[in-house]
Amino acid sequence: MSGRVLVTGGAGFIGSHIAEAYLKEGWDVVVLDDLSRGHERNIPKAARFVRADIRSPEARELLATGRFDALNHHAAQIDVRVSVDQPALDAGINVVGLVNLLDGAGAGGVKRVIFASSGGVVYGDPDVIPTPETAPKLPVSPYGVSKLAGEYYLRAIRALRGFEGVAMRYANVFGPRQDPKSEAGVVSIFVSRLLEGQPLVVFGDGRQTRDYVFVRDVARANVLATTVKLPDGGEFDAPAFNIATSIERNVLELAESVGQVLGRKPELEFAPPRAGELFRSALDIGKAKRVLGWTPEWKFEDGLKPLVEWFQKEAR
């Protein structure tokens, strides 16, 4: 099944892969992005591009009049540290911007909204690892609160306006087009530093773990989530899916894998641990497997190869 979809944030890292995945499945794709972080070169040629801020009347109007079947919302303020320094800016983009789009989607008869949430932050510091969707939601940072608030707004407005909503709770996504300057992009940071012959900076003892999922697997999960029959029931977590691998990998292992793929021995530079950083993180993906029929297909080392190629050819 295909139709017409608006991908916000489609000039950015994950959104541009999602736009490509929809096009491959025969969808008519429009990308909305303000290019505050994304780049026009990331947008697939076959997609139409509208440059606008998600908080603007134009963005609401596009959804209200654009005859979209689906809204896939990936535009956001993504930096935890920015949310700590400027919580009102973060909430303005991630909460008010989302609400503006949901209002437009309701007016325009959009059937389903897919929202990029974050499994790395909405659970806070969870007791159970890999963490299931039903775990307590106790975000620590303003960014985590804005993502969780987004899920609540999606739940409320979809009930009022009669569309369906899905929350995609990602682990650490990696792959081509991830900005090495972004805080979330430790894999990109390591690859770019190693290519430049610089040491890799490890905070703390390097034994902290994360769950790394390849961006093309994430894009495929989004296309599936756009058409799958959603679970019945009014529980908060019913339309939420962890998108991850459930595999924990620590920073030292990460550095070693990057070194192996690049054929260079990484030099490590240890720095004090960062305040507030989680020690372990991995997400349970049983539900995405069961309901979406999705399972990650890219092994971590296999995903590093296209990332390295992108750095060598295209990253500027």
Q: What is the DSSP letter of 230?
A: P
Q: For residue 40, count other CB atoms closer than 10 A to its CB.
A: 11
Q: Count other Cβ atoms within 10 Å, centred on residue 166.
A: 24
- Extended strands (E) in the chain: 4-8, 28-33, 48-51, 70-73, 112-118, 164-170, 172-174, 200-203, 209-210, 212-214, 240-243, 249-250, 268-271
The strand pair at 249-250 and 209-210 is best described as antiparallel
Is 152 marked active-site?
A: no
**Nearest distance from C-beta of residue 265 to ligand NAD, angstroms:** 27
Cβ at position 248, least distance to ligand NAD in Å: 16
What 3-state class would DSSP assign to 170? strand
β-bridge mates for residue 115, sequence order = 73, 167
Catalytic entry in 22, 123, 143, 170: 143
Residues in the chain: 316
CA distance 236 to 20: 30
Integer-rounded Cα Rg, in Å, for the chain is 19
| Cβ closest to ligand NAD, residue 106 vs residue 150 | 150
Smallest distance from ligand NAD to CB 30, Å: 13
CB of 178 to ligand NAD, least distance (A): 6
Q: How far is the CB of 197 from ligand NAD (least distance, A)?
A: 26
Contact residues: ligand NAD, CB under 6 A: 9, 11-15, 33-38, 53-55, 74-78, 93, 97, 116, 118, 120, 170, 172-173, 184
Query: Cα 63 from chain centroid?
Result: 21
d(CA 165, CA 226): 9
Active site members: 143
